[in-house]
Amino acid sequence: MNEFAHLFIQSPVFGIAISLLTFYAGTLIYKKVNSPLLNPLVLSMLAIIFLLLGFHISFEDYNRGGQFISFFLGPATVILAVPLYKKISLLKENSIPILAGISIGSAAGISSIIIMCRFFGLDELVSISMVPKSVTTPIGIEISGQLGGMPSITVAAIVFTGIAGVLLGPMVCELFKIDDKVALGVAIGTSSHALGTTKAVELGETEGAMSGLAIGIAGLVTVFLAPILVKLLM
């Protein structure tokens, strides 16, 4: 490896560049094939893993730039408030069922993962790390740290949950004959955070707005409920 390539890999530009390029390539493939199995995030992750392993590049070298992208995850989530603002009247009309649905959904998500981890005999550290699987990444990492979990496991669980929501969310709603736009958005956003919301936006503006709302409220609910349910169930 020549000196220029070595310096480039060790600079933040490298991590930012391959993240953007692989995601852009994944977006083009997704638009062309239009299959939920080829989600741009999944394709981007696989491509980056292949590049790092194939060229023997350490994660630390990549993360010098990758951490800047992680920093903007929080502010990027705020953009989801735009479609919500457009549907603010719908929120006012359905405020009680929306808040109740998000709260109950968050509690069910936390409880189910704890019970399943105990059933399969998983290590307590792993179990705690997976508790905030249904909230957006910045919030999930903070909750995991407060509970004493491992952020790396938390991030993996959050990504897997989001991908599962993209693939299975619409199918489950269709199976159970859930066709109300508000209910669809709340269900997808509560269970599969920002990644699921990208699918909700594809379904319609109302679904996207409600899903974006669910991300924020589910995060707040999980912050308060997670420590309580962990103590009760573990």
* pLDDT tens-place values along the chain, 234 residues long: 567 777 778 888 898 999 999 999 999 998 888 777 787 878 898 899 999 999 888 888 888 887 788 777 667 666 666 766 777 787 788 889 988 999 999 999 999 999 999 999 988 999 999 999 998 888 888 899 889 999 889 988 998 898 888 888 888 888 888 888 889 989 998 998 888 888 888 888 888 888 888 888 888 899 999 999 999 887
DSSP three-state, residue 73: helix
Q: Is the dihedral of CA 139, 194, 218, 155 positive or negative?
A: negative
Core vs surface per residue 103-127: b (16+ CB within 10 A) or e: bebbbebbeebbeebeeeebeeeeb
Please write the tens of the pLDDT for every residue from 169-212: 888 888 888 888 889 989 998 998 888 888 888 888 888 888 88
DSSP three-state, residue 168: helix
**How much is the pLDDT for 208?**
85
**How much is the pLDDT for 162?**
87
Q: Are 131 and 113 in contact (CB under 8 A)?
A: yes
Query: Would you list the domain boundaries of the chain?
Result: 3-71, 81-233
**How much is the pLDDT for 151?**
86
**How much is the pLDDT for 104?**
93
Quote the pTM value.
Answer: 0.76
**How much is the pLDDT for 50?**
93
Cα 138 from Cα 141, distance rounded (Å)? 5
